[in-house]
Amino acid sequence: MIEISHLTKKYGNIMAINNISFSVQKGEIVGFLGPNGAGKTTTMKIITGFMAPSSGVAKVAGHDVFENPIEVKKRIGYLPETPPVYSDMLVKDYLEYVARLKKMPSNKITKGVEQALEKTNLTQVHKRLIGNLSKGFRQRVGIAQALVHSPEVLILDEPTVGLDPKQVIEIRNLIKGLAGEHTVILSTHVLPEVTATCKRIIIINKGEIVAEDTFEGLSSRMSDTRRFYVRVRRPANFEGHIKSVSGVRSFKFANNSFEVELDKSDDSNEKLSEVVVKSGAGLLEFRAVDVSLEDIFLKLTTTDTGGVA
């Protein structure tokens, strides 16, 4: 449904994205994850036809974004980083206006607006002036305008920014519910967001894709080690005991506890637990630590050499 090939965008001397390629199948929800300045917004602006790339091609539903902009815009709902809402319009009037802009058939507009209001919990404020709404409510109006014409493709640039926790969960569920019929790319800094909503994750760093996989795939590819959390009563001299275990790659100490990174082998596990118990440091807790998306993200975006895709 979305085909990106060899996209590059330079702003003067700044290489915002560098030769990136990926595709998204119909019905997929893909998370676009990366630190500030990675190139997420730039990529999304190109897919939605808001900006031309320096080189490369973006296609939506088989249409080149720049050769057939009207065909593409009809199919896309876009929530930009700063929602494009008019503060001097009423919520409902604004959504009707957007629906008309998107060339929605006029007999479908009332229903479409009603549904968008319901999905984003805005029904109660539909007669309020957008400019008087709180930030979170304005964000919801931004999401509603992206959804109003029920587009095949949704491009959401940080959709839950500024929302309260309850609304974050509701919007996540709303996005999850779009899978199958709609194709969604969402960008976020909030790591749990991608695990909660997306099947596939694309991690971008300094304008390049450094990983592209499911969360499970990323975890297993990343981890040739296991991590253990060890808390002891008397940490003095305990470090020396840990160092003596073969297979220990690294460890961190904080608040009477150690996080030990160990080669992935049962022998090493056994040896570590044996040494901990025999050290006399007073074992209080010993457990395996799961690799989190945060670990993967940091590993891929803080080393210059990292990269698994």
Residues with Cβ within 8 Å of 103's Cβ and at least 6 positions away in sequence, in order, are 74, 149
The least CB distance from residue 158 to Mg ion, in Å, is: 7
Q: H-helix or E-strand containing 211?
A: strand 208-214
Nearer to ligand ATP, 197 or 268 (CB): 197
CB-neighbour burial class of residue 291 (10 A; exposed 0-12, middle 13-18, buried 19+): middle
Chain residues that interact with Mg ion, rule: CB under 5 A: 40-41
Q: Where are the alpha helices (H) located in 120-265, listed in sequence order?
A: 135-147, 165-178, 191-197, 215-222, 238-243
Q: How far apart are CA 217 and CA 200, in angstroms?
A: 9
Whether 122 and 143 have beta carbons less than 8 Å apart is answered as: no
Binds 16: which of ligand ATP, Mg ion, none (CB < 5-8 Å by kind): ligand ATP
Chain residues that interact with ligand ATP, rule: CB under 6 A: 11, 14, 16, 34, 36-42, 81
Per-residue b/e over 183-197, b at no fewer than 16 CB within 10 Å?
Answer: bbbbbbeebebbebb
Nearer to ligand ATP, 27 or 80 (CB): 80
The least CB distance from residue 216 to ligand ATP, in Å, is: 25
Binds 145: which of ligand ATP, Mg ion, none (CB < 5-8 Å by kind): none
From residue 183, give the alpha-carbon distance in Å to each of 1, 73, 139, 247, 269.
7, 14, 21, 44, 43
Nearer to ligand ATP, 54 or 219 (CB): 54
The least CB distance from residue 185 to Mg ion, in Å, is: 13
Binds 37: which of Mg ion, ligand ATP, none (CB < 5-8 Å by kind): ligand ATP
| Residue among 21, 24, 22 at smallest CA distance from 179 | 24
Binds 160: which of Mg ion, ligand ATP, none (CB < 5-8 Å by kind): none
Q: How far apart are CA 26 and CA 15, in angstroms?
A: 30
Q: How far apart are CA 22 and CA 3, in angstroms?
A: 6
Nearer to Mg ion, 40 or 92 (CB): 40
Binds 183: which of ligand ATP, Mg ion, none (CB < 5-8 Å by kind): none
The least CB distance from residue 208 to ligand ATP, in Å, is: 12
The least CB distance from residue 1 to Mg ion, in Å, is: 22
Binds 268: which of ligand ATP, Mg ion, none (CB < 5-8 Å by kind): none
Joined together, the tokens standing for residue 220 give: 């297993």
The least CB distance from residue 36 to ligand ATP, in Å, is: 3
| Residue among 228, 231, 242 at smallest CA distance from 290 | 228
The least CB distance from residue 288 to ligand ATP, in Å, is: 32
Nearer to ligand ATP, 112 or 159 (CB): 159
Nearer to ligand ATP, 14 or 101 (CB): 14
Nearer to ligand ATP, 125 or 203 (CB): 203
